[in-house]
Amino acid sequence: MAHLPLDDRGYPLPWFVAKVNGKPDPRVMDARKRILAIATGCCWVCGRGIAPDRAVFVIGPMCLVNRVSAEPPSHRECAEYSVRACPFLSRPHAKRRENDLPGTLADGPGFAIARNPGVSVLYETTGSEVVPDGRGDVLLRLFAPTSLSFWREGRTATREEILSSIESGLPLLESQCDDCDGNRIEDLRRAYAQAVALLPAEGGAA
């Protein structure tokens, strides 16, 4: 990441950051870079190539249930840097400034980062496939994880913190199932049980 430009505080500016009114805005991801990273397999944080079977996704715990990510993966070093140093990921209670955010996804130079789930998961996998999101965009469906670690406020998250983060997001996933038949609800419950089985034991070690 040594090649990245620095922000006002002297921290490296991630590669994905979009420019808003000519100035990099770390709250906004560049939509074109997202497509570029998905197409070329470069790292979301530093912009350099990643071995495809060593990709590490930084996802919210909910994505452990449905195994999809909107964000491309990173190098392990870059992903760990993000969960330790990115104010948004490492300080979940920090109030994000919402002023001057570009309006809609289509109008702006990128898309605003979604609500902070409190816990971040580093999900290493041997690959992913591009799938339609049903709204004209694409998501990445992740292959089975080869390694997982769970982070909160720059440290290892506890099992309780991970569980409460997953459970707070479950109603959202269920609401997407409102018009689903019983089979889809069953699939969701199975996926939830599968995700919970991957969590670290009590005490927090992943």
For Zn ion, the closer CB: 33 or 75? 75
Q: How far is the CB of 45 from Zn ion (least distance, A)?
A: 5
Q: From residue 24, give the alpha-carbon distance in Å to each of 3, 19, 31, 85.
A: 16, 4, 14, 17
Q: At what angle do helices 182-197 and 159-175 cross, to 10 degrees?
A: 170
Confirm if 34 and 73 have CB atoms less than 8 A apart: no
Q: How far is the CB of 91 from Zn ion (least distance, A)?
A: 22
Nearest partner of 63 among 120, 138, 128, judged by Cα:
120
Q: Which stretch binds Zn ion (CB under 5 A): 36-44, 65-73, 95-103, 186-194?
A: 36-44
For Zn ion, the closer CB: 81 or 111? 81
For Zn ion, the closer CB: 75 or 158? 75
Q: Mark residues 67-96: x for contact with Zn ion by CB under 5 A, - for none.
A: --------x--x------------------
Q: Which residues contact 164 (CB under 8 A, 6 or more apart)?
A: 118
Q: Which residues contact Zn ion (rule: CB under 5 A)? A: 43, 45-46, 75, 78
